[in-house]
Amino acid sequence: MRRRALISVSDKSGVVDFARRLSSLGFEIISTGGTARALEGGGVPVIPVSRVTGEPEILGGRVKTLHPKIHGGILADRRREEHLRQLEERGIAPLELVCIDLYPFERAVAGGAGEDEAVEQIDIGGPAMLRAAAKNFRSVVVVPGPGFYEEVLSGLESGGVPEETRRRLAAAAFRRTALYDAAIARWMAGEEEFPGVLVRGYRKALPLRYGENPHQRAAYYAEEGSSSHLLSGVVRLQGKDLSFNNLYDVDAARSLLASLGEEPAAVIVKHANPCGAAVGASIEEAYRKALDSDRVSAFGGIVALNREVDGALAREISGVFTEVLAAPGFTPEAREVFSERAAMVLLEAGPLETPRLSAKYVTGGMLLQESDAVGEEDASGYRTVAGQPPPEKTVRDLLLAWRVAARVKSNAIVLARDGGTVGIGAGQMSRVDAARIAVEKAGERCRGAVAASDAFFPFADGVEVLVGAGVVAVIQPGGSKRDAEVVEAAKRRGMTMVFTGRRHFLH
């Protein structure tokens, strides 16, 4: 009896050559529909599935492989005499290889398919055959996509596919069906954001140099089907392989940059906290102001810009040790300048789209929440509760500080002046300590600066630290039991205070 292989794929790339080489190894090829036509067109002999089953395709192709003569051939364990005997009694030939990919459901949905079209792209027979072949991997080689063709052919041409490889292929097949079902489940659930069972699939997008520390291995996984994950459309132009910390900081930098609006803007991040952020009339001005915010902390930092980098700016940036630079483009002159900093990572990256949901992993589980979109609250609801309503220039600095504070680890105090941060107090257990650090970082630049606090002041002491250093205005959510005391301290010292009514903790 000749060896038999079943091939039925939506992605036809490479399939004719794959089938031709199988045929040369003595395989009969069983196939369906478009795959059969493609193979016949390539000169590969094909046995239609309907000839094997003795039944035509029905229901517009919904039923064609769901038949004992197909699944019996796939699921028969050829190590068991009773299985072989039952196949012989029923005239079923065993299948040695099953090559299946699935209807392109994910692509159809991403392309805006309507409900009826999307439903027709939900594959039933394909996943059933993949799972059956994967279950019976000791008797059947499962091939879950074109990426495995050459490996399988090399094994067959060398005398047989080893069991270790068969098991790995089976695992790949089960991963494929799991991701496929997850995509369908998400689509069926529609806009349900917090379902009783959360089904998500993640695919390894990038091996990382190491984790938070060099002894920790790491990799970056992107959510399956997402078109807007951290590295979507990002091109690494030069530099070392990325590490866990690099990507975590790049996310922090690009997320803050996305909230700063359409003006030329620059962000410098260190250990997931911004140490500088600014807007300016030009990208050069924005970068200089961001760097001046805290030149010491910027050493070894991550820089994100929202404008193309030219040669002059490249020379400025090259003068500061920078781990990663992300920007929407680089001129040829800039590329030449950076080529002298071979270890520095250059990422060509456009705007980052903020996801609807964000997650934090905890031991054995995950915390899921709506993403915090700073600035989406109606600014007309902001209230000046102390001092005079701030002039336009002060408002601009207050809003900049407010946006940055939302991307600084809590407790956070951010000082800003003239379109750039001048002092940032991050990640403190008490708000007054965050205020002291921000003031210390800013030094004399506190005079005439404004401040933002990511949450309310529980006591007046934080405000006293700021106003004592020369800060003229502060923006904060309000909502403390001691708001009256805090507002009174601001009034007494001639400080303008604005309440927003919304907190922006970042843990």
Contacts of 178 (CB under 8 A, 6+ apart): 201
Strands (E), 180-232: 202-207, 219-223
pLDDT tier at 353, thresholds 50, 70, 90: confident
Long-range contacts of 216-223 (CB under 8 A, 24+ apart): 216/244, 218/243, 218/244, 220/247
Nearest-CA neighbor of 467 among 484, 453, 481? 453
pLDDT at 275 > cutoff 60: yes
Q: To which residue do tokens 């964000």 refer? A: 358
Q: Report d(CA 463, CA 119) in Å as an integer.
A: 59
Q: What is the pLDDT of residue 248?
A: 95
The DSSP code sequence of 88-104 is HHHT-PPPSEEEE----
Q: Are 343 and 209 in contact (CB under 8 A)?
A: no
Q: Report d(CA 181, CA 369) in Å as an integer.
A: 23
Alpha-carbon distance values, 296 to 161, 291, 347, 388, 461 (Å): 58, 9, 23, 36, 28
pLDDT at 39 > cutoff 60: yes
Average pLDDT of 67-76?
Answer: 81
Residue 370: strand pairing partners: 357
Q: To which residue do tokens 């921000």 refer? A: 438
Tokens of 365: 């589980």
Reduce the DSSP state of residue 259 to 3 states and report it: coil
Q: Are 372 and 410 in contact (CB under 8 A)?
A: no
Catalytic-role residue among 12, 69, 240, 271:
271
Catalytic-role residue among 12, 69, 83, 135:
135
Tokens of 132: 């059956």
Nearest-CA neighbor of 219 among 230, 204, 235? 204
Q: What is the pLDDT of residue 224?
A: 79
Q: Report d(CA 485, CA 457) in Å as an integer.
A: 10
- 149-157 and 15-24 helices cross at what angle (nearest 10)? 10
Residue range 477-492, pLDDT digits in tens: 999 999 999 999 999 9
Residue range 451-460, pLDDT digits in tens: 999 999 999 9
Write the secondary structure of 422-449 as one string of H (helix), E (strand) and C (coil): EEEECCCCCHHHHHHHHHHHHHHHHCCC
Q: What is the pLDDT of residue 123?
A: 81
Q: What is the pLDDT of residue 377?
A: 63
Average pLDDT of 266-285?
Answer: 96
Q: What is the pLDDT of residue 4?
A: 86
Q: What is the pLDDT of residue 122?
A: 85
Q: What is the pLDDT of residue 375?
A: 66
Q: What is the pLDDT of residue 376?
A: 61
Residue range 120-164, pLDDT digits in tens: 888 888 888 899 899 999 989 999 988 898 888 888 888 888 888
pLDDT tier at 378, thresholds 50, 70, 90: low
What's the number of CA atoms in the CB half-sphere (13 Å) around residue 502? 16
pLDDT at 474 > cutoff 70: yes
pLDDT at 52 > cutoff 90: no
Active site residue 135: yes
Q: What is the pLDDT of residue 354?
A: 84
Q: What is the pLDDT of residue 318?
A: 94
Average pLDDT of 71-89?
Answer: 79
Provide φ and ψ at 88, rounded to 5°: -65, -45
Residue range 298-349, pLDDT digits in tens: 999 999 999 999 999 999 999 999 999 999 999 999 999 999 999 999 999 9
Tell me the average pLDDT of the chain: 89
Tokens of 61: 């192709």
Q: Are 45 and 5 in contact (CB under 8 A)?
A: no
Q: What is the pLDDT of residue 115?
A: 78
Number of neighbouring beta carbons within 10 Å of residue 148 = 19
pLDDT at 291 > cutoff 70: yes
Report pTM.
0.84
pLDDT at 189 > cutoff 80: no
Q: Report d(CA 321, CA 172) in Å as an integer.
A: 42
Residue range 97-128, pLDDT digits in tens: 999 888 888 888 777 888 788 888 888 888 88
Average pLDDT of 184-189?
Answer: 81
Contacts of 117 (CB under 8 A, 6+ apart): 108
Q: To which residue do tokens 């700016």 refer? A: 313
Q: What is the pLDDT of residue 391?
A: 92
Residue 211 DSSP symbol: S
Lowest mean pLDDT among 210-219, 372-381, 487-496: 372-381
Instruction: List the end-to-end C-alpha distance of the chain, in Å, as a whole number.
Output: 65
Average pLDDT of 273-299?
Answer: 96
pLDDT tier at 43, thresholds 50, 70, 90: confident
Q: What is the pLDDT of residue 445?
A: 96
pLDDT at 42 > cutoff 80: yes
